[in-house]
Structure 1
Amino acid sequence: MDQQPFTYRKLFTSTFFLSAFTFGGGYVIVPLMRKKFVEQLQWIDEEEMMDMVAISQSAPGAMAVNTSIMTGYRLAGIKGVLVSVTGTVLPPLLILSLISYFYIAFRENAVIGAVMKGMQAGVAAVIVDVVINMGQNVVKEKDILSDLLMIAVFLITYLLEVNVAVMIAFAAIIGVVRFYYEKRKAA
């Protein structure tokens, strides 16, 4: 498939529809953004998308918005950021405004409660899919240190219940040390 030409309209509509029809936060929207921008539009390559997701996860704020910022900036600089963030933030703003207006009726409705419970299962499945896909991409690189680091961080975080932010900082330090070690080794 040929790469589709970039337009601000396409960036806005892509982020708007992804945000409007995705429930569950960043871990759900990111694989859909990957599918849209990497596979369908081919505006970004797979490795670059993984890098943007990693940075988005480690930055403060909502992961979906952070990834949208990274994507918009990569594609069109500051104007791209404004377009993609507007497209990402507008649907939840409108939906939450509407829900807050009818909050009492929604809170007491058994059908809405059941729908929300069902959506939790769907969100969990999408998160598992993201973990598997991102893990496979790390393993594909055939870098033993990255593989061991991924497994170690996962085990330490969930078995020892270490704060995720601490583990992200730990992995970042290892990455910086490794970068400078390889840079010095190459010189």
Structure 2
Amino acid sequence: MKDNLKNNHNMLFRLFLSTLYISAFTFGGGYVIVSLMKKKFVDDYHWIDENEMLDFVAIAQSAPGPIAINGAIVVGYRLAGILGIGITILATVIPPFVIISVISFFYNAFRDNFIVSQMLEGMQAGVGAVIASVTWDMVSGIIKDKNTGAVLIMIAAFIADCIFQINVIYIILVCILIGVCRALMAGRRHKS
């Protein structure tokens, strides 16, 4: 019993430190944190498999609120239940809170500083590359599974957004509806 409690405590501590580290070194928003979470929790620790991480990303994107917090919630819950949610949310919120507090204190000094503005511009290019990398990893994972339905949905969503400029909310709602229908049909086949 003591060993189990100690292992659980150790896992919660590693979960907190990992999420704190990821949040502290994430620049550019939620999609960047998703790639770092995948690397840490799927590739390094093997706590989550890749398909499950893709499901978590879909949940985090479709839920209201920041994707970083939503991602932390689903990963924390999967790994350690309600306590995991609290730990991952706290670890995700601490670094941005501290950084924004420091920046707001020194805002006048940062506002017109050429070096800071150039650094932020360079970070934008890096963030674009990381988002492209995450997209490539997710797309290649779907294609490797040879799931024709998922590939068609992905292509249709891309065309609807980029070419026809349909509001993303409608695309998400249609994808949810398609997912529910596919799940119901798979459930009926399984019962037969």
Which TM-score band applies after superposition, normalised by the shorter structure?
over 0.9
Residue 71 (str. 1) matches residue 81 (str. 2): no
Following superposition, the deviation at residue 41 of structure 1 comes to 0.8
AA aligned opposite 2:22: L
Please, which of 156, 161, 169 is the counterpart of residue 157 of structure 1?
A: 161
1:16 has 2:20 as partner: yes
SS for the counterpart of 1:42 is: coil
Q: What residue in structure 1 maps to residue 87 of structure 2? A: 83
Question: Is 1:177 paired with 2:181?
Answer: yes
2: distance between equivalents of 1:109 and 1:23? 19
Q: Which residue in 2 is equivalent to 1:105?
A: 109
Give me the CA root mean square deviation: 1.0
- Matched residue of 2:16: which SS? helix
Give the secondary structure class of the aligned counterpart of 2:28.
Answer: coil
Unaligned runs of 5+ in 2: 1-6
Give the CA deviation at 1:60: 0.4
Separation of aligned partners in 1, 2:168 and 2:18: 30
Partner of 1:7, secondary structure, is: helix
Cα distance in structure 1, aligned partners of 2:147 and 2:11: 37
Say whether residues 1:33 and 2:13 are aligned partners.
no
The offset of 1:154, in angstroms, is 0.6
1:24 to partner: Cα distance: 0.6
Query: C-alpha displacement at 1:134, in angstroms?
Result: 0.4
Match of 2:150 in 1: 146
Percent identity at matched positions?
48
CA drift of 1:143 comes to 1.4
Q: Take 1:78 and 1:183, find their aligned partners in 2: how far apart are those partners?
A: 29
The superposition leaves residues 85-111 of structure 1 with CA deviations (integer Å, 9 ceiling, x where unpaired) of 100110000000000011111011011
Alignment of 1:127 onto 2:141: no
Offset of residue 163 of structure 1: 1.4
- For the pair 1:49 / 2:46, whether they are aligned, the reply is no
Which residue does 1:115 correspond to in 2? 119
CA offsets, 1:5-58, max 9 Å, x none? 661111111000110011011100111100100111111111111111110000
Could you tell me the TM-score, scaled by structure 2's length?
0.92
Q: Which runs of 5+ in 1 are unaligned?
A: none
List, as ranges, runs of 4+ consecutive aligned residues in structure 1 with deviation greater than 4 Å.
Answer: none
Q: Which amino acid aligns with 1:124?
A: G
Q: TM-score, normalised by structure 1?
A: 0.95
What is the aligned residue count? Answer: 183
Amino acid at match of 1:117: E
Equivalent-residue separation in structure 1 for 2:108 and 2:129 (angstroms)? 30
